[in-house]
């Protein structure tokens, strides 16, 4: 499945999450993404292997116009905000609106509140973010790329929401049919 991966401002830690997921490592000196970067990761989910093709798009405003190229063909999107920056949470809502208006109709949306290791500097409450995620039927997790908290879990949750129904079936006969499951109300705590 193709995964669109976006942050709302530069510096929310989106690249760090992808890096942690793909390489199981945390690099505090990651450079800002230019345009978009691509990587793959395979997740074992029950008896299936789900291969994620991940487009990590730049958070900087000047690259925003490129995003539709990446989310158009995507089965899921992770939108990352920084729990220590209220602004990033407000901008996240604009990304959600854009995906709803212009993205694929069944795209699974996951919201990740990153930097939960910095809870002393928290500006966005977990409850507010969870309530918002529930209201739009999105997956919600708080993550720390730095401390490897809930990174794999968000990809597993996406796998749960996108079960493969017909391998090789479908109208065109050349792909997988994807289905979205109703949202679950489980909360994953961070720190
Ligand atoms: N404390 C803490 N710092 C983090 C965490 N994740 C990322 N960072 C730091 O936040 C800064 C920005 O991380 P990036 O991954 O480059 O941010 P980004 O949102 O992907 O930025 P763009 O590539 O411009 O979209 C870096 O200095 C990271 O080390 C985290 O979970 N906790």
Q: When comparing pLDDT for 189 and 99, which is higher? A: 99
Lowest mean pLDDT among 31-40, 101-110, 165-174, 179-188: 165-174
Q: Tokens 């996951």 identify what position? A: 110
Angle at which helices 86-102 and 126-135 cross, to 10°: 10
pLDDT in the model for residue 78: 94
The per-residue pLDDT for range 94-110, each reduced to its tens digit, is 999 999 999 999 899 99
Q: Which atom of ligand 1 lies at the shortest distance from residue 30's CA?
A: 16
Cross-strand pairs, 5: 56, 78
pLDDT in the model for residue 187: 59
- For ligand 1, the distance from its centroid to the CA atom of residue 82, given in whole angstroms, is 9
> What does the pLDDT read at residue 2?
64
Residue closest by Cα to atom 26 of ligand 1: 28
Reported as a pLDDT band with limits 50, 70 and 90, residue 169 is very low
pLDDT at position 5: 66
Name the residue at shortest CA distance from atom 25 of ligand 1.
59
pLDDT tens by residue, 36-84: 888 898 888 888 888 899 988 877 777 778 888 888 888 999 999 999 9
Residue 158 predicted with pLDDT over 70 = yes
d(CA 90, CA 72): 23
Tell me the pLDDT tens digit for each residue of 115-151.
999 999 999 999 999 999 999 999 999 999 999 999 9
- For a substitution probing ligand 1, which of 15, 23, 34, 142 has the most ligand atoms within 8 Å of its CB? 15
In this structure, the residue with its CA closest to atom 7 of ligand 1 is 13
Q: How confident is the model at residue 188 (pLDDT cuts 50, 70, 90)?
A: low
The ligand 1 site (C-beta within 6 Å) comprises: 7, 10-16, 28, 30, 32-33, 58-60, 114-115, 117-118, 144-146
DSSP string computed for 124-179: S-HHHHHHHHHHTT-EEEE-BTTTTBSHHHHHHHHHHHS-EEEET-STTSSSEEE-
Outline where DSSP puts E strands in the chain: 2-7, 36-45, 48-57, 76-82, 108-114, 139-142, 164-167, 176-178
- By most ligand atoms within 8 Å of CB, the mutation choice from 67, 145, 148, 154 for ligand 1 is 145
- pTM, full prediction: 0.84
Check whether 114 has a pLDDT greater than 50.
yes
């Amino acid at each position: 499945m193709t995964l669109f991966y976006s942050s709302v401002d530069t510096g929310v830690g989106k690249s760090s999450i992808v890096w942690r997921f793909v390489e199981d490592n945390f690099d505090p000196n990651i450079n800002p993404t230019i345009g978009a970067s691509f990587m793959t990761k395979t997740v074992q989910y029950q008896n299936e292997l789900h291969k994620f093709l991940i487009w990590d798009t730049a958070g900087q405003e000047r690259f925003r116009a490129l995003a539709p190229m990446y989310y158009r063909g995507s089965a899921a999107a992770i939108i990352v905000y920084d729990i220590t920056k209220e602004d990033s949470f407000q901008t996240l809502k604009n990304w959600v609106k854009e995906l709803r208006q212009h993205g694929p109709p069944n795209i699974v949306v996951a919201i990740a509140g990153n930097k939960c290791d910095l809870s002393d500097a928290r500006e966005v409450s977990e409850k507010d973010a969870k309530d918002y995620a529930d209201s739009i039927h999105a997956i919600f997790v708080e993550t720390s790329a730095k401390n490897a908290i809930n990174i794999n879990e968000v990809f597993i949750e996406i796998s749960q929401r996108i079960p493969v129904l017909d391998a090789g079936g479908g109208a065109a006969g050349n792909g997988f049919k994807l289905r979205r499951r109703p949202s679950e109300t489980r909360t994953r705590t961070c720190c």
